[in-house]
Amino acid sequence: MHPRDLQQLVKESARKTGFDACGISTARFLEEEAPLLEKWLSANMHGEMQYMANHFDKRLDPRQLFPGCKSVISLVANYYPQKEQPAGLPKISRYAYGRDYHKVLKKMCKELIETLQKQIGDFAGRAFVDSAPVMDKAWAKNSGLGWMGKHSNLINRNIGSYFFIAEILCDLDIEPDAPIKDYCGSCTKCIDVCPTDAIAAPYLVDGSKCISYLTIELKNAIPETFKDKYSDWVFGCDICQEVCPWNRFAKPHTKEDWSYHADKLEMDWKDWEEITEELFEKRFAGSPLKRAKLNGIKRNVAFVNPSDNK
């Protein structure tokens, strides 16, 4: 099959599988990202996320991670919710409203690979969803799915930035897409609004100061310097996305896996303080919140709990 026809087939199959957009890149070494990643790591902006410093070469070249790789298929799935948490409750990032996206996207990728194999014959392909050293946003950017916003999230002109990213590395020779231009312009809303000054400069995020990092990835105590800095967030943060003008184009998803569940998302401060390990495990089975574990979330609740709720 001609590379251009194969590109069309892949994109059509991706849409039928449930993905909102698909883009193709030719597997190569990411020359532009290499010095930026090295500088970011040298400045310790990855905090306690030591895994970010591992497999440097593989992170920049998918051919080292998956020998024989010729193309990177980037896939995005919208998670913007139809309903949101009421104000005044401990805040949970929108991406964590439903089931763990890793499992959902992996299943979707597997289905897409199987669909393509039925149509074009056997080929080598492997799916990745934050499970290996793959620079998902860089590949999605290269494939024209969006541009890197000043908050370092990928922005798509049609659906904003509330979406998950997955990749399929494969040995298929597929016609690549071209990157698109940056449409952030002179806007600095995400930089101006960040309460912890995590956006050190346009397109540069100090992960060690990001609320998402502090509430999920940080395993030690939250530094007191961040006290009273970030409102009611206890798992993740959406502040920089909430002010982004491009998210006016965000439309609610229709996936049951990421649907809103009041029993999980409308717990108040006292509920979180009193929930037992047994109930947490039962109520949040298959949820992204399991990553922070109950002790981590209770730490976050204690750190940001307004005094009038104590």
Start-to-end CA span in the chain (Å): 65
Query: In a 10 Å sphere around its CB, with 0-12 CB exposed, 13-18 middle and 19+ buried, how is residue 51 labelled?
Result: exposed
Residues in contact with 301: Cβ distance below 8 Å, sequence separation at least 6, in sequence order: 90, 234, 269, 272, 273
How far apart (Å, rounded) are the C-alpha atoms in residues 221 and 300? Answer: 9
Do residues 169 and 72 touch, judged by C-beta distance below 8 A? yes
Catalytic-role residue among 20, 61, 130, 171: 130
Alpha helices in 153-284 (DSSP H): 189-193, 211-212, 239-242, 262-265, 269-274, 277-283
Q: Which of 307, 302, 309, 294 is nearest to 224 (CA)?
A: 302
Q: In Å, what is the CA distance from 288 to each residue of 10, 100, 113, 194?
A: 29, 5, 25, 23
What single DSSP character describes residue 176? Answer: P
CA distances from 195 to 164, 179, 291 (A): 24, 31, 24
The tokens for 30 are 């990411």
Q: Name which of 51, 91, 88, 70 is nearest 241 in CA terms.
A: 91
Contacts of 150 (CB under 8 A, 6+ apart): 184, 187, 188, 190, 191, 199, 202, 203
DSSP strand pairing (154-155 vs 147-148): antiparallel
Question: What are residue 147's DSSP bridge partners?
Answer: 155
Clarify whether 100 is annotated catalytic.
no
- Which residues are tagged catalytic? 130
